[in-house]
Structure 1
Amino acid sequence: MERERVAAIDVGLKRIGTAIALDGKTVLPQTPILRKNRDQAARDVDAFLESWKIDRLVVGLPKGGGSEEEMERRIHHFVSLLNFTGAIEFVDEAYSSAEAAEMMKGVMRQRHDGRLDSIAAQLILERYLSRSAPQ
């Protein structure tokens, strides 16, 4: 039986972090998608999902914090622009960006190249897979 190919995205206003798990276990951060506008970003996410032949997309949603409702609305709208036909699951991304920054402290200078966004997507996907794995 072929393993489901799963990807995660961490949608931000400037960058979209990406990560994949082609075997359902090993999660690899990918090159983040720079966001010029939402239509271009949606096309780039579609191309990313198509290139990896992704079956399921996991999307991080912010929980907790003052602007969570607005960001959640924006993320749902962004996902509605995708042409992706596989399963889409929304999961709590609570603190994934802060956790990614903490993990990379001392390892990577805080450049704004999106690597932290993709590490946040990696954390989101790892959490999702650990919860959905058969015990």
Structure 2
Amino acid sequence: MKYIAIDLGLKRIGLAYSAHKDLVTPLKAVERKNRDQAARDVKKTLIEWEVDAVVVGIPLGGSSEDEMRRRVAHFMNLVAFEGEIFYQDESNSSIEAESMMRGEIKYIRDGRIDSISAMIILQRYLRQKC
């Protein structure tokens, strides 16, 4: 099964891909100018990589979980993805991504940290699934 993970943010959307449970690759993040443009760009990526399922990071168990699920559902409706959608706890994934990117690179706001966060989210999902 082919997966793409999404780390949905207000400025950038991190993406990561896996066709094999042991290998997850961060993809180029989507710069979010507005939600319609972001949804189109994410949809293009899903089609290009021929994914079967999407794993979306949300903060599970917190007071904002319901609101985030609503926002994610709305965004995924805009994407119009017809495959399966799974949710994975994203707690501390950005902090973990920043620690992985030690040095100057972590200060560059080009989406690499967002996509590494998506990679971490997908790795967590695949570990739990298997």
Same fold (TM over 0.5): yes
Cα deviations by residue, 1:46-80 (Å, 9 ceiling, x for unpaired): 10000000001000012366655544432221112
Match of 1:92 among 76, 84, 89: 89
Query: Does residue 74 in structure 1 map to residue 103 in structure 2?
Result: no
After TM superposition, the structure 1 stretch with the greater mean CA deviation from structure 2, 66-75 or 98-107, is 66-75
Equivalent residue number for residue 7 of structure 2:
10
Give aligned pairs, total.
130
Query: Does residue 22 in structure 1 map to residue 19 in structure 2?
Result: yes
In percent, how many aligned pairs have the same letter?
50
After TM superposition, the structure 1 stretch with the greater mean CA deviation from structure 2, 89-98 or 62-71, is 62-71
Rounded Cα–Cα distance in structure 2 between residues aligned with 1:49 and 1:25? 20
CA contact (8 A) 1:64 1:94 kept: no
* TM-superposed deviation, 1:88: 0.6
CA contact (8 A) 2:94 2:114 kept: yes
Please identify runs of 4+ aligned residues in structure 1 that moved more than 3 A: 63-72
The structure whose residues are more often helix, as a share, is 2
Q: With structure 2 as the length reference, what TM-score do the two structures score? A: 0.91
What are structure 1's unaligned runs of at least 5 residues?
none
Rounded Cα–Cα distance in structure 2 between residues aligned with 1:70 and 1:112? 26
Match of 2:120 among 123, 126, 134: 123
Cα deviations by residue, 1:25-61 (Å, 9 ceiling, x for unpaired): 3100000001111111111111000000000100001
Rounded Cα–Cα distance in structure 1 between residues aligned with 2:84 and 2:104? 35
Root-mean-square deviation (Å)? 1.6
CA contact (8 A) 1:5 1:24 kept: no
